[in-house]
Chain A
Amino acid sequence: MRIMQAAAGPDHAAHLARNGGTRALTLAEIEASGLRGRGGGWFPTARKMAAVRDCSTVIVNGMEGEPLSEKDGWLLTHAPHLVADGAIAAAALLGAREIVLAVTRDGLHEVLAPRGVRVVRGPDRYLSGQESALANWVRGGPPVPAATRPAERGIFVSNAETFAHLGLIARYGADWFRSTGTAEAPGTLLVTVGGAVVRPGVFEVPVGSPLAPLIPAAAGAVLTGGYGGAWIGAGRARSLRLSPEGMREHGAVLGPGIVSVLPETVSGLADTRRIVHWMVAQGANQCGPCRFGLPAVAADLDALDSDPDALHRLRARADLLRGRGACAHPDGVERLVSSALSVFAHELRVAA
């Protein structure tokens, strides 16, 4: 597959020998390619670039704070120069004078500093990779979401995989990019498959590919999109296609390409409780509805077996998590909880 075929490891000469050089990218070509960001939002990349005011900085987001995701780590290990190619092409077209790669591990400075990329090591927290938090931190502020969008500060942030695709578009063009995937979301995507599966790992598939071949035939419920994504029942999971719209139509989330199968021996509600408690601890504590709402939802989840009013309270409180924070953290928890109550309804016990 495309990225995986181009992957040549950390040596730049090997990368060039395998892939040849790039040519300059124009905004029109990126728009024609239909490329959409691979960090979870699937926002059209050309539109995001066009929105940046007086771009001074391109940030490659390699933070990968989503615990179930491994694709960016894979990419930066196996195809760092493809990512750099895309970032350099983007910076040239935007007129940015600085390219920053943000990661949470060591070892990339040696590989990418010679290419003019400043590698910085960010805090290993879930929200540190949220784009306004990352932009804030790169600019010397705290790594928490900000009210101002990076575009308004002259910063273009995008996921590492998005830049990898740009590196390929800079070689093969927009028409080539569109020749696979779907009309609304062209190209391939990297998917992290994990949990109770025979073959865990990172795979590259065309957008719109069926999910079923990636998981065992007898797989149970699936967590799609990560901790801020949605549970899907075993049967429905097998009918899903890995496109942003295709997943959403069926109540699933593609996000940064995560498919995690729940082991048969694990309670879905128990796993959801574990995740929600973790999400509480990862909050930035800046916004009242999240700072108070998330712990309350976690407490209601814990009380489901013992308090007959907990379910009703939980639904009402979860409802109020949507769109009331400065970032999408509370929205993710609402999606996870609502999907859990549906998919694991059989686990709900009504207290006498």
Chain B
Amino acid sequence: MNPVIDRIACDGAGLCAQALPEAVSLDEWGYPIVGPGPIPERLRKHARDVENLCPRLAFHLKD
């Protein structure tokens, strides 16, 4: 399971990185950097909640 960001929809609110720091960090302008590696097993359920957190619905999960 890996995060996939809709880069056009994303406007750098940063909630994804806040909620899932193990899998997402932010660049100097506040845009998500994904990885490295897939989302750990123990965080998968939580990751699904993060999909609903993004105000632009730009955060998706792909297996």
Contacts and interface: CB of A to CB of B under 8 A. Distances in A.
Given A147-B6, A324-B7, A325-B7, A288 B33 contact: no
Contact of A146 (B8, B12, B27, B31): B8
Given A287-B8, A288-B11, A324 B33 contact: yes
A288 B9 contact: no
A172 interface: no
A319 to B, nearest CB: 10
A293 B8 CA distance: 15
Interface string A320-350: 1000111000000000000000000000000
B54 interface: no
Chain A CB within 10 Å, residue with most, of B6, B7, B33: B7
B21 interface: no
B15 interface: no
Given A320-B33, A324-B33, A289 B27 contact: yes
Say what secondary structure dominates the interface of chain A: loop
Interface in A202-231: none
A147 B10 contact: no
A137 to B, nearest CB: 15
Interface in A43-97: none
Interface size range on A against B: 10 to 19
Contacts of A324: 5, 7, 31, 33
Contacts of A289: 7, 27, 29, 31
Interface residues of B, number: 13
A278 interface: no
Contacts of A288: 7, 10-12, 27, 29-31
B7 A326 contact: yes
A286 interface: yes
A287 B29 CA distance: 11
Interface in A276-293: 286-289, 292-293
Contacts of B6: 147, 326
Interface string B1-40: 0000111111110000000000000010111010000000
Interface in A106-160: 145-147
A293 B33 CA distance: 13
Contacts of B9: 147
Contacts of B33: 320, 324
A146 B30 CA distance: 22
A324 B10 CA distance: 11
Contacts of A326: 6-8
Contacts of A286: 7-8
Nearest to A325: B7
A315 to B, nearest CB: 14
A325 B7 CA distance: 6
Interface string A284-309: 00111100110000000000000000
B27 A287 contact: no
A145 B9 CA distance: 12
A308 to B, nearest CB: 19
A119 to B, nearest CB: 29
Contacts of A325: 7
Given A326-B6, A326-B7, 17 more contacts: A147-B6, A147-B9, A286-B7, A287-B7, A287-B10, A287-B31, A288-B7, A288-B10, A288-B12, A288-B29, A289-B27, A292-B29, A292-B31, A293-B27, A293-B29, A324-B33, A325-B7
The 8 closest A-B pairs by CB, nearest first: A288-B31, A287-B7, A292-B29, A326-B7, A286-B8, A326-B8, A289-B31, A288-B12
8 contacts: A145-B8, A147-B7, A147-B9, A286-B8, A288-B10, A288-B27, A320-B27, A326-B6
